[in-house]
A and B are shown apart, each in its own frame.
Chain A
Amino acid sequence: MKRYIKIGLFVVLFFAVAGVVIGLYLFNLKHADLAKAKPDFIITASALQKEFEVNEATASAKYINKIIEVTGSIASVSKADSSNLNVSLKTGSDISSVICNCRAITDPSKLKTGDEITIRGECSGFLMDVLLKECAIVPKRK
C-alpha cells in the first residue's frame, strides 16, 4: 500500500516539475528568428504597397501576421538605437513605402540608400505605409 503512495507522489511531483519547466520555457521564449523562417509570401515592395493602397481590408486579411519576403530599394534608414532600426523601401508611391523594423542587425552601416535589398518580416498592417516587424535581411542568392 505504501509503495503505491510513494509512486503516486513521485508521479505528481514529476508532472509539477515538468509543468513549471515548460511554463518557464514558454514564458521566456523570445521571438522566432525570421532569418530561418519560411516565408508565406514573396513579393516586391511596390506590389505589396499597391495591394494595401487599392484595398486595405483585403490586403490586411491576406498579409497580417504572415511572414513576407519583400524586395525593394532602400529609401531611408532610421536608427532608434544601434540595434533597433527602420528600413524604408521604395514603392511606386511618393508618400507610402514599406517600413521594416529590424531589431537584430549586426552591421547597419552596410545598409545604403538606393541599394536593392530583400527583407523578411512579419506584417503588422498599414498606416501610411506597410509595416513589417521582427525583420531579418535575406542574404543575396548567388
Chain B
Amino acid sequence: MFLIIVLAVNAQKFMTKNGYIGIYSHTPLEEIKADNNQVVGVIDTSTGEMVFQALIKSFHFERALMEEHFNENYMESDKFPKSTFKGKITNLSSVDFSKPGTYNVKVEGDLTIRDKTNKISTDGTVEVVSGGINASSKFKIVPEDFNINIPGVVRDKIDKNMEVTVTMKYAPLANK
C-alpha cells in the first residue's frame, strides 16, 4: 500500500518489479543460499530516496526443506510476510543521473524484517545506462538484530553474519 503512495508522488522515478535480493551464509556443513527475483524497487533521482519491498515467501532455496524451515521456523513468514527497506543516497551530489557512467554511492536507511526496524548503512554502485538505472549493493546483517532466533546447536555452525546482495535494473516510471 505504501508503495502505491510513494509512486503517486510523481517526478524523477525509476522502478522495477523484477529486482534481485540474495542472501548467503557459509557453514562448514552446508551453504545457506537463497534468492528472490520478485523484489519491487523504486528510486527517485531528484531526492536520492530508495524503497525496496520483498515477500519473504518469494525467497527460493535449492532445497525445499531449507526453504520450509526458513519460512516457518526463522522468518515466520505467515506472521511477517514482507520486508522493507526505505532509505536514501547520502552523497547524491556525486551522481549525475543525466550522464551515463558508474558512480559509487553511500546509502543509509531503515531495514524492516519481522516488524523489527534497524538502521543500515552501506556502499553501493549506481550505473546510469541508456533507458534506465542499474543499482547494486552488498552488506551484512546479523539475524539476531531482527529477532530471528537461531538455536544454539545450529548457531555455532553458521556464520554470525548473513550477506545480503541487492541488484536492481530500474526502468523509468511513466508519469500518468
Binding site for B on A (CB under 8 A): 26-32, 60, 64-65, 78, 80, 84, 86, 88, 94-95, 99, 101, 103, 124-129, 131, 133-134
Choose, from B62-70, B135-143, B152-160, the stretch at the interface. B62-70
Determine chain B's interface SS by DSSP, over half rule. Answer: mixed
Please state if B18 and A78 are interface contacts (CB–CB under 8 Å). Answer: yes
Asked whether B7 is an interface residue with its Cβ less than 8 Å from the other chain, the reply is yes
In the complex, which of the residues B17, B18, B65 contacts A29, with contact meaning CB atoms closer than 8 Å? B65
Q: Which single residue of chain B is at the shortest CB-CB distance from A134?
A: B60
Residues on the A chain within 8 Å of B40, using CB: 127-128
Interface size on B, residues (CB 8 A): 24
Q: Is B132 an interface residue (CB 8 A)?
A: no
Give the A-binding residues of B (Cβ under 8 A). Answer: 3-4, 7, 17-18, 20, 37-38, 40, 53-55, 57-58, 60, 62-65, 67, 78, 81-82, 176
How far is B11's CA from A57's CA once the two chains are assembled, in angstroms? 31
Contact partners of B67 in chain A: CB under 8 A: 31
**B62–A99 contact, CB under 8 A?**
no
Given contacts A84-B37, A99-B38, A127-B82, contact A28 B55 (CB under 8 A): no
| Distance to closest chain A CB from B86 (angstroms) | 14
Q: How many angstroms from the CA of A129 to the CA of B3 in the assembled complex?
A: 11
Given contacts A78-B18, A86-B38, A125-B55, contact A30 B64 (CB under 8 A): yes
